[in-house]
Structure 1
Amino acid sequence: MEQLNEVQQTKSTPSIPAIPSVERRMFMRQLGLLSASTAAFLASCTREMSDVTPQGGRSRMSATVLPDGTIDLGSGDIGISNLAYTLEQLEVAYYSTVLENSYGLSQQDRKVIEELHDHEIVHREFFKAFLGSNAIPMLDFDFSGVALSDRNSVFDAAQQFENVGIAAYNGTGPLIDDLEILKIAGKIVSIESRHATLARYMLQPKSYFSLGHELIDPQGRDWALTPPEIVMKAQPFIKQKISIANLPTY
């Protein structure tokens, strides 16, 4: 997981005691609000994007599977959208793997993972429908590097995946040509930040009211990753090789 750890300036995976009943009720209320706000955001995204087709911006190259099996994400806004689609696929696959294979989670832990899983499915399916024939295929993943029997490891990885997603949306925003797509990216990254906060809460109770310092750089700006940096962090968990050769650059 060291590729992901570089996103965080500090890392802590303490053993978490039982959450007091009052705090647990507050936490579950926040979880419900997260679900409601996510549904509202995605409904808004769907309305705004109903008449928008990804045009590729600087060019219109769709995703391509190369002869050696490498997946080229395409170019312009298509390529950037496919990069987001790649990360959403990864997150869904991770949460699915946790739900299917982890045996170190409490009932509350599983409820949180299920909530994150269901949100990321909506994100994934949104990009799949939006990209249509321009989309990359469904990818295969390997999470053998995560200790699924340890709940701290599970939530630490969840937080890191969400953090990479946030930094990816922040970093690729300036490369997007279509303002409608940029607006959608802005809405989705706000949901991803809620996910990261929720995962952090599971490691450090009562921390979910504050912004994560691990996503703020020394100058006080939101953390951002370039496409090469995004792929460097995600590639170890993706079985197919991902190419960003045709993505726009700064």
Structure 2
Amino acid sequence: MKNNELETKTELQEESLLKSTVGRRSFLQYAGASAAALALVAAGCRKDRNFTDPMAGVTLDFKDDFGVLNYAYALEQLEAAFYIQVANSNPSGFTTAQKAYFQDVQFHEIAHREFFKKALGTAAIGSLEVNFSAVDFTSGASVLATAKTFEDLGVAAYNGAGVRLKETAYLVLAGQIVSVEARHAAYVRDQISNGTFADLGTLSAFGAVDANGLDGALTPDKVLPLAAPFIKTKINVVNL
């Protein structure tokens, strides 16, 4: 089967999964986020921006909210691709409950990704090509370690980018999503070592809970290099 046929088949499968499952299992009911979605769609229609150059990757322009939203969209693309592959693999040592959990999380991340894609409209960057060569999807330990990296990084990324958003509706939306990412992070940590779901006390690249009980926050210039090993597409950053 040719590559374009495979891509089309994958897209159709994802769309089918999203339509059949997001409604009953996803954290994010589209109806509940309708106000923010309408605001994003309306803004996207007013600004026809071409962020994508096939020869040079994608560009994140942080001069306004669209750059921040596309930044979140890029990270959600990465997470969705990872969890789709996990859900279609059979990691050794995974219990039935763990398999069910990762099935659910793939729907969460597909919902995140598709929400941003639809809401941004013509302002959305293109699809990213991922690189998971360092991940052993047959190993439960490898999958959990990578999931921990993505979830901790995702939480820190949303926390660090929120200050750049000017529209209140977008900030509220980011807060709704980061709270779900934090739930994912807590679960994954507990699967690796029971009782460590809230343990960010050890300093890491992703920050740590401080004396005030606040979670880690990383600015985009710190997040993107940490995500880069998992992304083949070149990401250009301006106005950061």
TM-score by length of 1: 0.74
* Pick aligned residue for 1:216 from 192, 208, 212: 208
Q: Structure 1 residue 244 and structure 2 residue 237: aligned?
A: yes
Counterpart contact for 2:26–2:108, Cα < 8 Å: no
Residue in structure 1 matching 2:37, options 49, 61, 64: 49
Distance 1:125 1:191, change over 3 A: same
Corresponding residue to 1:96 among 72, 81, 84: 84
CA distance in structure 2 between the partners assigned to 1:115 and 1:72 by the alignment: 31
Unaligned runs of 5+ in 2: 1-23
After TM superposition, give the deviation of residue 55 of structure 1 in Å.
Answer: 4.8
How many residues are aligned here?
Answer: 208
The alpha-carbon deviation at position 218 of structure 1 amounts to: 4.4
The runs of at least 4 aligned residues of structure 1 exceeding 3 Å deviation read: 51-56, 60-63, 210-215, 217-221
SS of 2:104 mapped into structure 1:
helix
Identity of aligned residues (%): 34
Letter in 2 for 1:50: L
Answer whether contact 1:61 1:78 (CA < 8 A) is retained.
no
Is the CA contact (8 Å cut-off) linking 1:49 and 1:180 kept in structure 2? no
Cα distance in 1 between the residues matched to 2:37 and 2:87: 31
Match of 2:152 in 1: 163
Q: Indicate the larger mover: 99-108 or 220-229.
A: 99-108
Query: 2:77 is aligned with what amino acid?
Result: Q
Answer yes or no: is 1:66 the counterpart of 2:53: yes
SS state of the match for residue 243, structure 1?
strand
Q: Deviations over 1:87-120 (max 9, x none)?
A: 1110010011222344413322211111111111
CA offsets 1:49-95 (integer angstroms, 9 cap, x no match): 32444759xxx683522363221023411111011001111001001
Q: Alignment partner for residue 226 of structure 2, among 233, 237, 243? A: 233
How many angstroms does 1:39 deviate by? Answer: 3.6
Instruction: Please state whether the residue corresponding to 1:149 is helix, strand or coil.
Output: coil
1:207 Cα shift? 4.0
**1:117 correspondence with 2:106:** yes
Cα distance in structure 2, aligned partners of 1:93 and 1:108: 21
Cα 1:54/1:47, change in 2 over 3 Å? closer
Amino acid at match of 1:156: A
**What is the rounded CA distance, in whole Å, between the counterparts of 2:218 and 2:193 in structure 1?**
25
CA deviation profile, 1:9-62 (whole Å, cap 9, x unmatched): xxxxxxxxxxxxxxxxxxxxxxxxxx878245x542234432444759xxx683
User: Quick check: 1:185 aligned with 2:177?
Assistant: no
Residue of structure 2 aligned with 1:86, choices 74, 82, 102:
74
- Please give the alpha-carbon distance, in whole angstroms, between the structure 2 residues aligned to 1:80 and 1:164: 16
Distance in 1 (CA, whole Å) between partners of 2:154 and 2:190 is 18
Query: Quick check: 1:197–1:212 contact (8 Å CA) kept in 2?
Result: no
Taking the aligned partners of 2:141 and 2:234, their CA distance within structure 1 comes to 29
1:97/1:196 CA distance change after superposition, 3 Å: same
Task: Name the structure 1 match of 2:97.
Answer: 108
Q: 1:77 aligns with which of 59, 65, 87?
A: 65
